[in-house]
Chains A and B, each alone.
Chain A
Amino acid sequence: MQLQVKGLSKKYYSGFLGNNVTDAVDDVSFDIKEGEIFGLVGGSGSGKTTVSKIVMGLIKPTSGGVFYNGRDLTKVNNRDWYYLRREIQMIFQHPQMTFNPRRNIYFACAEPIRLYKLAKNKAEEKAMVEHLIERVGLTKDQLKKYPHELSGGQAQRLSITRALCLQPKFIICDEPTSMLDVSVQAQILKLLKEIHDEFNITMLYISHDLEVIQSICDRVAVMETGKIVEIGNTEKVFNMPQHHYTKQLLQSALYI
């Protein structure tokens, strides 16, 4: 087990004296094996992104734990996160918004390398960035551009580059293709799959698109209003759905 999520809950209190309680995530447990692509499906507002943010350590959960190789991530301090973030990286939903609009693309890719002092000198840093950027299908002359000059698909490739810079072992993909066209979506998914096979990276893939989940994930969990209602092998869940919410989701598919 590379990642184990045990009884994770996140409550938000609102109103006078905090009387209104919203269960964003309610007693969620699952585990992800090494080298696996694990899918998390659900409608908007079902708590998928909250789970991913808790795993990344961006939000503290109300109760429960996240164990990465046996270590509880919810109790890790900021200093240790610095070392852990080399192993756990995230690809966000809106790629354009994750870049500093005032710095060029070279800087965006080189920043993690500088932060972790992976390169001995400028030339080595440049070689590393160029190697990675070609790996994801961008060209060297795009390094001089600024984020707004890129299309959505190119920006998403760039955020994949940035996640790969640190040679992570675990990547969280939070709806990486929901803003993209079908043709570009196919390119990005193929790239993610290649990276998964090449570097043996474990992935937590979050999406509301069942077709995408079905085609890339090994195992899948279905979430509804903060709870996991069904979990199992992708084939089994899609061919023999047990819970009514899964059935409802599958029925709302539009086929071509």
Chain B
Amino acid sequence: MRGLLEIKNLNVSFAVDDNHVHILNNVSMDINENEVLAVIGETGCGKSVTGSAILHLLPDNAIVTGNIFFKGQDITKMNDHEFRQLRGQEISSVPQSPSTSLNPLMHVGNQVAECVLEKNSSEADKKKTALKVHEIFSRLGLPRGEDFYENYPCELSGGMCQRVLIAMGVITHPELLIVDEPTKAVDWALRKDVMDVFCELKNDMKCAMLFITHDIAAAKYVADRVAVMYCGEVVEIGPTDSVINQPRHPYTKGLIASMPSKGFNVMNGFMPSFQDLPKGCRFSDRCECSSDICVNEEPESVEISAGHFTKCSIYKNMNVSEIFSHAITS
């Protein structure tokens, strides 16, 4: 397995009224070819900012430092003109909220075709593209034929709009797809269908995905690895089974315990504001096992088991057997 995308010490801050609000703090993660990495966390923890940073879609007041390597190339150093060759072709995205992301005055088929067509393309090209659009629609389980091609977004249900957006993302056969909250706007029964579409994409098209979501069950369903973000930091990253069944960071434990099926155990407090962060560990003021080290020192990433890293001071000076016994007792 080869590395496709590697994010190293990514820092993003925004210049707001002479102040710098530091959003992402040393975010590091990597995605291999044909692998799905789910990024989970609460609203406002920096998941979508990470996605936008990869796509060069951050607003003008953002200050980005650190490196993002895509197939060995550092894409943070590229200018907009160079990056346009990659965006849409090799790195593509599925935005959140299908109802607001589509153009209400354009046929859905044309909107998908627009991603591939160039400005002055010939009639033959257009016909070829239309066939391609039909093919991708039927592949995503949408009705085939002219009728569907000429629908407007308002005539479609939420789940169908979501699939049209997915079609727009995958029509160019990208190598990396950044999916932002695909299950947010769809209801319970459709959620499974949408997730099945992503599983098929992963198996058929061999496309790697950065799957941004707050839906832990959906992440578990599709992802190979999971990264948990809190307050602009990756607090835990590792294989899906290992992170969700044996969470090690207190925040991940709390998040999973607050699922309805795990009995609604409520975590203390709220996520702090980015302008007023605790000095040491950013979770220290909500953590049950917080100690002096947590309040004063920023924790380092510790490898708990193969490929499973967590950023917590509890595990700092433990060896393997101690970590194992700690996991059993807690």
Chain A positions within 8 Å of B, measured between CB atoms, are 43-45, 151-153, 181-187, 189-190, 208-212, 214-215, 248-249, 252-256
Given contacts A182-B258, A183-B255, contact A254 B191 (CB under 8 A): yes
Residue with the highest number of chain B CB atoms closer than 10 Å, among A43, A153, A189: A43
The residue that A252 contacts in the complex, of B191, B215, B244, with Cβ under 8 A, is B191
- A–B pairs, 21, beta carbons within 8 Å: A43-B187, A43-B190, A151-B270, A182-B215, A182-B255, A182-B259, A183-B254, A183-B255, A183-B266, A186-B258, A186-B260, A186-B267, A209-B188, A211-B259, A212-B260, A214-B260, A215-B261, A248-B189, A252-B191, A256-B220, A256-B262
Q: How far is the CA of A208 from the CA of B192 in the complex (A)?
A: 13
Q: Which residues 195-243 of B sit at the A interface, judged by CB distance below 8 A? A: 195, 214-218, 220-221
Q: How far is the CA of A45 from the CA of B187 in the complex (A)?
A: 10
User: Taking the nearest CB of chain B, how far is it from the CB of A126, in angstroms?
Assistant: 25
Q: How far is the CA of A14 from the CA of B2 in the complex (A)?
A: 57
Chain A residues with CB under 8 Å of B66's CB are: none
Q: Is the CB of A151 within 8 A of B43?
A: yes
Q: How far is the CA of A211 from the CA of B215 in the complex (A)?
A: 13
Q: A186-B259, A256-B220 are in contact. List 9 more A-B contacts (CB 8 A).
A: A182-B258, A190-B264, A190-B266, A212-B260, A215-B261, A253-B217, A255-B220, A255-B261, A256-B244
Q: How far is the CA of A256 from the CA of B265 in the complex (A)?
A: 16
Q: How far is the CA of A215 from the CA of B265 in the complex (A)?
A: 12
Size of the chain B interface, CB-CB below 8 angstroms? 36
User: Taking the nearest CB of chain A, how far is it from the CB of B92, in angstroms?
Assistant: 25
Chain A residues with CB under 8 Å of B258's CB are: 182-183, 185-187
Q: Is the CB of B190 within 8 A of A183?
A: no
Q: Is the CB of B195 within 8 A of A254?
A: yes
Q: How far is the CA of A182 from the CA of B216 in the complex (A)?
A: 9
Interface SS of chain A: helix
User: Taking the nearest CB of chain A, how far is it from the CB of B231, in angstroms?
Assistant: 13
Residue with the highest number of chain B CB atoms closer than 10 Å, among A152, A181, A182: A182
Given contacts A254-B195, A254-B217, A255-B217, contact A215 B158 (CB under 8 A): no
Q: How far is the CA of A229 from the CA of B220 in the complex (A)?
A: 31
In chain A, what residue has the closest Cβ to B265? A186
Q: Is the CB of A152 within 8 A of B255?
A: no
Given contacts A152-B43, A256-B220, A256-B259, contact A186 B266 (CB under 8 A): yes
Given contacts A151-B44, A181-B43, A256-B217, contact A208 B264 (CB under 8 A): no
Q: Is the CB of B260 within 8 A of A254?
A: no
Q: Is the CB of A211 within 8 A of B189?
A: no
B256 located at the interface, meaning its Cβ lies under 8 Å from any Cβ of chain A in the complex: yes
Chain B residues with CB under 8 Å of A208's CB are: 187-189
Chain B residues with CB under 8 Å of A210's CB are: 188
B175 located at the interface, meaning its Cβ lies under 8 Å from any Cβ of chain A in the complex: no
User: Taking the nearest CB of chain A, how far is it from the CB of B197, in angstroms?
Assistant: 14
B303 located at the interface, meaning its Cβ lies under 8 Å from any Cβ of chain A in the complex: no
Chain A residues with CB under 8 Å of B90's CB are: none
Given contacts A190-B266, A254-B191, A256-B244, contact A215 B260 (CB under 8 A): yes
Chain A residues with CB under 8 Å of B217's CB are: 253-256
Q: How far is the CA of A182 from the CA of B42 in the complex (A)?
A: 8
Chain A residues with CB under 8 Å of B189's CB are: 43, 208, 248-249, 252
In chain B, what residue has the closest Cβ to A179? B184
Q: Is the CB of B259 within 8 A of A189?
A: no
Q: How far is the CA of A212 from the CA of B262 in the complex (A)?
A: 11
